[in-house]
Amino acid sequence: MVNFLPMRSPLSKRQNAEFSSEIKMKIFEDIPDMQKFAESVRKSGKRIGLVPTMGYLHEGHLSLIRNIRKSCDVVVVSVFVNPTQFGIGEDLNKYPRDFKRDQELCRKENVDIVFYPEVPKMYPEGYDTYITVEKFSGIMCGVSRPTHFQGVTTVVAKLFNIVKPHIAIFGEKDYQQAIIIKKMVQDLNFDIVIETSPIIRESDGLALSSRNKYLNKNDRKNAVLLYQSLQHAKKLFQKGERDILIIKQEMAKMILQIPNARIDYIEIVAPDTLRSPDQIQERAVAAVAVFIGKTRLIDNLLLEQ
């Protein structure tokens, strides 16, 4: 079931035209307009790069924009808070939104197109098609968010058909998501290159996230323990510890210093298969999801010598 929010008032054609003549950045709200434009770009031999986002942009998103620019001619940023990837009782309604600010940031980054559709345009009444990458979607974040990745793969597949990119970029912050998208692209033969981009962090190490806005001052200060627990895991690994259970226990001890923390999961997995062996071989990804109060934060770090 798609969860609908009240309709937002669309940008008037004049507003949009004024905006685009001033800054040369186009905003498309309609799917056929976006598709027609994408087709004309393709015909002209130019390469389209897509940066899918849910808006409320920060330096993490901007780094994706800067990175994809290196391998394409036309950068499209989609801004869409996708209802199908939120479960019942999750933060869809209060997810932060500020499209005016997002436009400004995109303009400063010389983004060519912002695709900004309304929910009923993406999911009209009677919408009934979903994509699931079976095995990868039921582990890690998929345990406590069982419908999340189905929503992600569905909206990304739709964006691929609408924006027609040659290349799309995803942040390593959502490590499992990037693996799942790559698998979908491989399994469904999308002719699209998937790139990933490193995690951008605050100066104390907290991974940037639109959800950090929910944290009060104290929780924000404590949230750095997530990254510190990952760094601790890396140090243990580099000192020769290979027992996953021991590393996970050490991480949990650190995270539980946060008084209102609830660990959703701590996993140490093989970077490609996301399988969790008893002993780490050469490399592994340590990944955490933790509720601080009501705010769920995720982070990960590659463990290697």
Note the residues at the interface with ligand AMP (CB under 6 A). Answer: 53-54, 60-61, 63-64, 170-171, 173-174, 197, 199-200, 207-210
Nearer to ligand AMP, 236 or 290 (CB): 290
Nearer to ligand AMP, 54 or 269 (CB): 54
Shortest Cβ 251–ligand AMP spacing (Å): 20
Sheet holding 113-115, edge to edge: 26-28, 113-115, 74-79, 48-53, 167-171, 193-197
CA-to-CA distance for 165 and 133, rounded, in angstroms?
Answer: 21
Shortest Cβ 174–ligand AMP spacing (Å): 4
Nearer to ligand AMP, 58 or 262 (CB): 58
User: Could you give the 3-state DSSP secondary structure of residue 278?
Assistant: coil
Nearer to ligand AMP, 141 or 200 (CB): 200
Are the C-beta atoms of residues 103 and 27 closer than 8 Å to each other?
yes
- Residue 42: partners with Cβ closer than 8 Å, 6 or more residues away: 48, 164
Query: Residue 114 forms beta bridges with which residues?
Result: 27, 77
Shortest Cβ 22–ligand AMP spacing (Å): 26
Shortest Cβ 122–ligand AMP spacing (Å): 15
The token pair that represents 6 in the structure block: 């009240």
Q: Which of 61, 148, 166, 232 is catalytic?
A: 61
Nearer to ligand AMP, 63 or 147 (CB): 63
User: Could you give the 3-state DSSP secondary structure of residue 1?
Assistant: coil
10: left (phi over 0), alpha (psi -120 to 50) or beta: beta
CA-to-CA distance for 292 and 224, rounded, in angstroms?
Answer: 11
- Indicate the burial class of 60 (C-beta count within 10 angstroms; 0-12, 13-18, 19 or more): buried
Question: In which element (H, E) is residue 286 found?
Answer: strand 284-292
Sheet holding 261-269, edge to edge: 261-269, 284-292, 295-303
Shortest Cβ 240–ligand AMP spacing (Å): 30
Is 58 designated active site? no
Are the C-beta atoms of residues 114 and 28 closer than 8 Å to each other?
yes
Give me the phi and psi of 284, to 5 degrees please: -155, 160
Nearer to ligand AMP, 172 or 267 (CB): 172
Shortest Cβ 209–ligand AMP spacing (Å): 5
What residues are labeled active site? Answer: 61
